[in-house]
Amino acid sequence: MAEFKLKIRRYDPESGAAPYWDEHTVDLEPHRSVLEGILQARNEKDGSIGVRCSCRAAICGSCGVRVNGKPGLACHTHLDDALASAGEDGVIEVEPMGNMPIIKDLIVDMDAVHWKKIQRVTPWLIGKEPVPEREYIVSRESMIDVTQSMACIQCGACVSDCLSMEVDPLFVGPAALAKTYRFVGDPRDAAHEQRLKDLGEDKHGIYDCTHCFKCIEACPKGVAPMNQIMRLRRIAGNDFHIKDRNNGERHEMAFVNNIEKNGILHEADLLPDSYGGKFHPRAVPELIASLPIVVTALLRRKMTPGKALLHPHKAPDGVKRIFEVVEGREERTEFNLYISGTDADNAPNPEVAEAIEAAEPAGVAPDGSEGSSA
Amino acid sequence: MPAYDVLIIGAGLAGQRAALAAAKTGATVAILSKVHPVRSHSVAAAGGINAAINPLDDWRSHAYDTIKGSDFLGDQDAIEIMCREAPAEVMWLEHAGVTFHRNEKGEMDLRAFGGASTKRTAYVADITGQALLHVLYEQLMKYHEVIDRFEEWFVTSLIKSDEGECVGAVAREIRSGKMESFSAKSVILASGGAGQCFQPTTNALICTGDGIAQAYQAGAPLMDMEMIQYHPTTLAENGFLITEGARGEGAHLLNSEGERFMEKYAPNKMELASRDVVSRAEQTEILEGRGVGPDKQGIYLDITVVPRKRTLEALREIVNIGKDFAGVDITREPIIIQPGMHYIMGGVKTDINGATPLEGLYAAGEVACVSVHGGNRLGANSLLDTLIFGRRSGEHAAERALAMKMPTVSDDQLGKDREMIAEILARPKTGRRVSEIKHELGTTMNRYAAVYRDEAGLQSAHEIVRRLKEEAKTAYVDDKGAVFNQDVLGAIELDYMLDCSETIVMAALERKESRGAQFRTDFPERNDAEWLKHINVSRNGGDVPTLSYSEVTITDWQPEARTY
């Protein structure tokens, strides 16, 4: 047993008082969870501490909180890990999640934000017709693939720290878009194109994400919402050629072409290319509108006239080869948590596996292939 | 006062399935739950759902396995219905969007499970319950215009009319503390089991027997309450569930001598015998000194014999549980498990349509006892039970409702429940803490009403439960507020758990034989001549439960010796 100091953010809506910190010392094994710490305080000291919780095993998704400023499940955060990320005073801080209104203590209003956004994405299967008598016949991989987004437990940790949502509260957001992939990736769904068109044309849809990776870090179940959003974009652009009015698809392509040409990002081209090129009628007003930013960039030496007009850097052969290989593939390879490992992993004997690990650098199997791949 | 044709209490799989079925008939439907529906404990079911969908399989074989698994205490008419309707139900789920694992041909894949004579369990990795629950909730969102959801509403009582029919419920909106009467033509209880009566348990903190106790208090009989399932593989560390799917994929159980000891107890089915058989075998090994771990109270579950790629793909959740909660990579080393309280076979007595003897009240899922599980439930039959009898009770409750007019409901019960809560809030700090009483109850039940039981132990459990019932009357709460007062709800839940525990202990004392999950060391044999019958417990208006019996329905399968 060891003592841990927990500082819980309290708020009582009936008192009229502002939120405050409430410190408790709990006595638990270090590998026990922050939730168990909170419950010990509640059971033994103060029954009024408000926290939603149920399964204690990271499956029901009730106990989303922020521990030392990071979102996650209280039941899925060990006390010793939480102590390691605590401040110098060694006190573990537990706060309610962000981006959602607080009801009481650690309890936030998920209906007001999270569930509204889920309801926004038509969150049910629109099955292909005719409905078969038995099951739909679909590939094994396709079902394992959508299992990654199906693994979402709707805890709201990704929503809590979504930076895009902080700026644009109307952003559909990581959880609802991961839910969308669960249908767009499902071969039984008949509405892939409509779903993507809907969320591509929506100003707050798939192109509103800024790739900050916060949701991937936050997710306790490995759903990797941002990856699912990027897959929605790739399917929208590459497979359905949906040219949205937000210019999202062109902007994506501008990035890809820019890298293919320059090897590194040549920012001056990005804006005009996103609108069809420097001389495209649509690009002109955008370019004019961006002039203040260009001037600021020049003044702060983030950009020089030479860099802006010339292309000093050309893509090296390595980058070209990456494009050749990836674009030459018949099917797009996507990363997925559930489809992992190689046949070498089928070696059942742990001693053999350990011997292999000892002999080879981590993650590389004897045949030289990667230890885990898409 | 909100009024509905059908009011459903509980929004796990049984409740949600009932809501969808009832709404389909055109009835007005409300579903009410003390947690958001996707937090319901159905989410934790891991391994899968049984159905004879393989053309070479037969629902009769599924029925026989279930009956044998129940140690012949299951009602065979109900079991026949469940197994016959299972394939169509699973196809309905598939069409609704459940991402069932496929084989190389793109058809639904099936995995082996305990007590089954063939591979019969459809699954989604090891998050089957989660996948089902979330897909059903997708359907509730789809049909949000015809099914009203009351999420985070806590039921305090069922309402009875002067004629003695169930005509609604009183509930508290947790977020505001507002109390409300709901009137309904039919009420369906789907509020799950009572695992929290035991500590440790695989069950979530919300599984406090609310529905079982509410029905009992309203006068409905409970049945098979003595039948408590101990799951063979719960994490020794903290009681978390390790899915039977692990053994279905081929994992071994080993004692301290490295022996696959199931050879001695179930030479044919080995690790895949019925859960009661495996749990008893483990407990025997532990009692005879062949346990493993620091206090020799565990058994090794060796998953390293399963190909690693398969484990990562099909048992991902327990890979995570091993890593996060026990610090063990289950693909590389065995993990220490032990039998742990998991499921209650008993519950509110119902017929094959979910109707309880209390007119107007239905029950489905773990709260109910149809009885399809009898003395021991087979793995992957609980999800099936929730769906089949959830649907059937939804249909029948709606049918009944559509043929009658809305009852007039008074606010008498609402007034009583308001007073009850005010009384709890007003208790002085002289009594014991709710959490303290709950802890004593849980450890008592786990000590005396566990895998092995005897008269003396059950008697002490009974005395302790009676004492705790008295102490609970003065248990105080810290939170005096209205908004999200979980403290006061905890005190009400404690009363629910005490009622459930008392009936469990009384039924276990009554059954003087060993059958299914009930093993009496003082009566070690099954005794069909005297005990091939259900034990019913009802309150009948008084505080002391009264016992009675009902017959086991036998159709085609006569009781026989049970070996695996």
**Same structural domain for residues A116 and A103?**
no
Q: What CATH number did the domain enclosing B179 receive?
A: 3.50.50.60
User: How large is the average pLDDT for residues A307-321?
Assistant: 83
- Just list the catalytic residues of B: 275
Range of the domain at A310: 248-317
Q: DSSP secondary structure string, B11-30?
A: -SHHHHHHHHHHHHTT--EE
Interface contact B88, partner A, CB < 8 A? no
Contacts of A111 in chain B (CB under 8 A): 151
**Same structural domain for residues B188 and B254?**
no
Specify if A329 maps to a domain. no
pLDDT value for A372: 37
**Same structural domain for residues B328 and B364?**
no
A169 CA to chain B: closest CA distance, Å?
22
Specify if A331 maps to a domain. no
**Same structural domain for residues A265 and A361?**
no
**Same structural domain for residues B184 and B248?**
no
Q: What CATH number did the domain enclosing B510 receive?
A: 1.20.58.100
**Same structural domain for residues B398 and B429?**
no
pLDDT value for A358: 53
Contacts of B561 (CB under 8 A, 6+ apart): none
Chain-centroid distance, C-alpha B295:
30
**Same structural domain for residues B20 and B111?**
yes
Q: pLDDT at residue A366 above 50?
A: no
* Domain finish residue from B302, B323, B340: B340
The band of A339, judged by pLDDT with boundaries at 50, 70 and 90, is: low
The Cα–Cα gap between A224 and A148 comes to 8
ipTM of the complex: 0.95
The band of A329, judged by pLDDT with boundaries at 50, 70 and 90, is: confident
Instruction: Look at A347 and B308 and tell me if their CB atoms are within 8 Å.
Output: yes
Instruction: Look at B484 and A104 and tell me if their CB atoms are within 8 Å.
Output: yes
**Same structural domain for residues A235 and A115?**
yes
Instruction: Look at B479 and A48 and tell me if their CB atoms are within 8 Å.
Output: yes
The band of A309, judged by pLDDT with boundaries at 50, 70 and 90, is: confident
Instruction: Look at B304 and A348 and tell me if their CB atoms are within 8 Å.
Output: yes
Specify if A332 maps to a domain. no
**Same structural domain for residues A119 and A207?**
yes
**Same structural domain for residues B44 and B173?**
yes
Q: pLDDT at residue A349 above 50?
A: no
Specify if B561 maps to a domain. no
Closest CA in chain A for residue B477: A47
pLDDT digits 0-9 by tens, A135-152: 999 999 899 899 999 999
Q: pLDDT at residue A351 above 70?
A: no
Which run of H or of E encompasses B549? strand B546-551
Instruction: Look at A43 and B433 and tell me if their CB atoms are within 8 Å.
Output: yes
* Domain finish residue from A239, A262, A280: A239
* Domain finish residue from A195, A212, A239: A239
> If DSSP states are collapsed to H, E and C, what string results for B489-500?
HHHHHHHHHHHH
For chain B, 564 residues long, give each residue's pLDDT as a single digit of tens: 999 999 999 999 999 999 999 999 999 999 999 999 999 999 999 889 999 999 999 999 999 999 999 999 999 999 999 999 999 999 999 999 999 999 999 999 999 999 999 999 999 988 999 999 999 999 999 999 999 999 999 999 999 999 999 999 999 999 999 999 999 999 999 999 999 999 999 999 999 999 999 999 999 999 999 999 999 999 988 889 999 999 999 999 999 999 999 999 999 999 999 999 999 999 999 999 999 999 999 999 999 999 998 898 889 889 988 988 888 999 999 999 999 999 999 999 999 999 999 999 999 999 999 999 999 999 999 999 999 999 999 999 999 999 999 999 999 999 999 999 999 999 999 999 999 999 999 999 999 999 999 999 999 999 999 999 999 999 999 999 999 999 999 999 999 999 999 999 999 999 999 999 999 999 999 999 999 999 999 997 777 889 999 999 999 999 999 999
pLDDT value for A374: 32
Q: DSSP secondary structure string, B492-536?
A: HHHHHHHHHHHHHHHHHHH--S-BTTB-BTTB-S--HHHH-EEEE
Instruction: Look at B38 and A153 and tell me if their CB atoms are within 8 Å.
Output: yes
Contacts of B307 in chain A (CB under 8 A): 345-346, 348
Q: What CATH number did the domain enclosing A55 receive?
A: 3.10.20.30
Specify if A306 maps to a domain. yes
Specify if A330 maps to a domain. no
| Pick among A46, A135, A138, A186 to test the B interface (most B CBs inside 10 A) | A135
pLDDT value for A356: 45
**Same structural domain for residues A9 and A99?**
yes
Specify if A322 maps to a domain. no
Nearest Cβ partner for A143 among B102, B134, B205: B102
**Same structural domain for residues A119 and A225?**
yes
Instruction: Look at B125 and A13 and tell me if their CB atoms are within 8 Å.
Output: no
**Same structural domain for residues B359 and B451?**
no
Q: What CATH number did the domain enclosing B247 receive?
A: 3.90.700.10
Specify if A135 maps to a domain. yes
Contacts of A373 in chain B (CB under 8 A): none
**Same structural domain for residues A117 and A10?**
no
Specify if B557 maps to a domain. no
Contacts of B193 (CB under 8 A, 6+ apart): B41, B203, B207, B209, B212, B343, B344, B347, B366, B367
**Same structural domain for residues A123 and A223?**
yes
**Same structural domain for residues B100 and B216?**
yes
pLDDT value for A265: 87
**B residues 373-432 lying closer than 8 A (beta carbon) to A:** none
Instruction: Look at A119 and B312 and tell me if their CB atoms are within 8 Å.
Output: no
Backbone angles phi, psi at B379, to 5 degrees: -60, 145
**Same structural domain for residues A138 and A230?**
yes
Specify if B24 maps to a domain. yes
pLDDT value for A337: 62
**A residues 206-245 lying closer than 8 A (beta carbon) to B:** none
E strands in chain A:
2-10, 20-28, 64-67, 70-73, 91-95, 102-104, 107-108
The packing angle between helices B13-24 and B382-402, to 10°, is: 30
A84 CA to chain B: closest CA distance, Å?
16
DSSP assignment, residue B127?
Answer: -
**Same structural domain for residues A75 and A192?**
no
Q: Which of B178, B36, B174, B171 is nearest to A110 (CA)?
A: B36
A248 CA to chain B: closest CA distance, Å?
29
pLDDT digits 0-9 by tens, A151-160: 999 999 999 9
Domain count, chain A: 4
Instruction: Look at A136 and B36 and tell me if their CB atoms are within 8 Å.
Output: no
A134 CA to chain B: closest CA distance, Å?
6
**Same structural domain for residues B86 and B123?**
yes
**Same structural domain for residues A155 and A197?**
yes
* Domain finish residue from B314, B340, B366: B340
The Cα–Cα gap between A158 and A173 comes to 8
Q: Which of A104, A17, A106 is nearest to B483 (CA)?
A: A104
**Same structural domain for residues B46 and B110?**
yes
Please give the C-alpha separations between residue B221 and each of A105, B389, B503, in angstroms, as whole numbers: 40, 18, 10
Specify if A347 maps to a domain. yes
Q: Could you give the angle at the alpha carbon of A231 between the alpha carbons of A225 and A233, nearest 5°?
A: 110
Interface contact A329, partner B, CB < 8 A? no
Interface contact B1, partner A, CB < 8 A? no
Q: pLDDT at residue A368 above 90?
A: no
Contacts of B310 in chain A (CB under 8 A): 346
The band of A357, judged by pLDDT with boundaries at 50, 70 and 90, is: low
The Cα–Cα gap between B284 and B276 comes to 12
Domain count, chain B: 3
* Domain finish residue from B317, B340, B363: B340
Instruction: Look at A61 and B35 and tell me if their CB atoms are within 8 Å.
Output: no
Q: pLDDT at residue A233 above 50?
A: yes
**Same structural domain for residues B211 and B270?**
no
**Same structural domain for residues A301 and A374?**
no
Range of the domain at B456: 412-551
Interface contact A117, partner B, CB < 8 A? no
Backbone angles phi, psi at B355, to 5 degrees: -75, 135
**Same structural domain for residues B125 and B203?**
yes
**A residues 63-82 lying closer than 8 A (beta carbon) to B:** 76, 78
**A residues 273-302 lying closer than 8 A (beta carbon) to B:** none
Contacts of A188 in chain B (CB under 8 A): 97
pLDDT value for A341: 47
Chain-centroid distance, C-alpha A99:
15
A165 CA to chain B: closest CA distance, Å?
23
Burial degree of A258 (CB within 10 A; 0-12, 13-18, 19+) = buried
**B residues 537-556 lying closer than 8 A (beta carbon) to A:** none
